[in-house]
Chain A
Amino acid sequence: MTPPQSACGASAPGGQRQRTGRAGSAAFARLGRAARGALVSAVLAVAAGPAVAGPPVIERAAKGERCVEDTATMRRNHMRFLEHQRDDTVHGGLRGAKHSLKGCVDCHASKTTGSVAAAKTDFCVVCHTYAAVKIDCFGCHATKPDGVIATRPSGALATQPNGALATAAGAKP
């Protein structure tokens, strides 16, 4: 058995970043102008090459006009929103508030894989791979929308005795 991990915790491996040393810049100044130019263009060429990955290409949400918060806020704070609401939901039974992981999955599941975390290009994975942040959400949570939403009024589910029927009947919410 693997040791238990802190749920929904995030870790960023390799926190140290490379820094240019002062000795390096002194040597750089001693080089001739032409040599300096050649070196700079060589560095630029390396930066643009395939060795360094560019920013992640994020797939647009399959449905929904706009997110529950503006993009900048979501990028910075989505984990806080999720963590805050998760305790209200699990302990207090408050469901259907706007910052739900299920809500993320409902809109952001990929059109090709139908999931937020199945392929490397899927919504959650593409950024977390780029940022080297490991998330545990999907060890337990579904990565695919079900079509049946928990906050739906009781009548909608009453006619569907099991999950298979519910999925088939409620594919289009």
Chain B
Amino acid sequence: MSDDKSRRGFLGMAAAGLAGVMLAPGIRLVEVAQAATPGGASAGANPKVRWGMLIDTTKCASGCTDCVDACNAENGLAKPTRSTDPQWIRKVEIKEIKTGRQSSVPVMCQHCAEPPCVDVCPTGASFKRADGIVLVDRHSCIGCRYCMMACPYKARSFVHEPLTDQKPDVPRGKGCVESCTLCVHRLDAGQKTTACAEACTKAGHGAIVFGDLNDPSSEISRRVREVRSTQLRADLRLDPGVRYAGL
């Protein structure tokens, strides 16, 4: 009896140890297993990547909605007509009362490293991907909207009405909460930018830079190194992936 137990314990320990064993220099069994993907699938979310955005508010013009329009077209969102209609990017106009200085700021899901929406979700539908993108799994979302209450950025919307003609890459439907996905379907397909950043660059504003914050050679890493930028409500210490310059 005790013999059997110790043998089982040894096997368990051996199996646990084997996962970390080096097969060849720099290659471990866990990494081989992680690299093995179902037939023909893309590589998936890379845990070494932290997708983020840098928004230069000095280049963002008041009244310009190029990013919002591009987001709507990419994700199949209708132009909101009521305050309860889903919107993934909001243009917020801010004014410093003492000086009168005005700025226009696009605010979307900030893709926090410590997302409060994930903390409060009762079903695990709200989750953070390995590459830092915060998403809603609509298959398990029950539409309770607790995440909308928890988000300090007012980034999430609830779909109140039945939808038709969704984009094949962006399934959306009534009864679920949704928000900016950082164009996750594009990134998974190997593209390097989001619809909003692409539209902003194409229109010549260049106010949105999208990229990998963990890659020191990326454009966004270089910019956040050189230019002073802030996170919205940094006092909450949620470590958002979206940063703002010129606020």
Contacts and interface: CB of A to CB of B under 8 A. Distances in A.
A34 B70 CA distance: 77
A97 B191 CA distance: 18
Contacts of B195: 161-162
Contacts of B202: 161
Q: Is the interface of A mostly helix, strand, loop or mixed?
A: loop
A164 B130 CA distance: 31
B174 A93 contact: no
B73 A140 contact: no
B138 A150 contact: no
Nearest to B175: A4
Contacts of B188: 93-95, 150
Interface in B13-71: 37-45, 70
Interface size for chain A: under 10, 10 to 19, 20 to 34, or 35 or more residues?
35 or more
Contacts of B131: 93
Interface string B199-222: 100100000000000000000000
B147 to A, nearest CB: 14
Contact of B167 (A4, A95, A142): A142
Interface in A118-173: 139-142, 144-146, 148, 150-154, 157-158, 161-164
A4 B142 contact: yes
B139 A4 contact: no
A92 B40 CA distance: 14
Q: Is the interface of B mostly helix, strand, loop or mixed?
A: loop
Contacts of A163: 73-74, 76, 167
Contacts, number: 127
Contacts of B127: 91
Contacts of B74: 162-163
A67 to B, nearest CB: 14
B42 A140 contact: no
B93 interface: no
Interface residues of B, number: 52
A152 to B, nearest CB: 6
B171 interface: yes
B173 interface: yes
B160 to A, nearest CB: 8
A6 to B, nearest CB: 9
A7 interface: yes
A97 B76 contact: no
Given A4-B142, A90-B135, A140 B173 contact: yes
A98 B160 CA distance: 33
Contacts of B184: 93
Nearest to A152: B189
Contacts of A94: 37-38, 41-44, 188
Given A90-B139, A94-B42, A146-B168, 15 more contacts: A1-B175, A2-B175, A91-B129, A93-B129, A95-B188, A97-B39, A98-B39, A105-B168, A142-B171, A144-B165, A151-B40, A153-B189, A157-B186, A157-B191, A162-B73
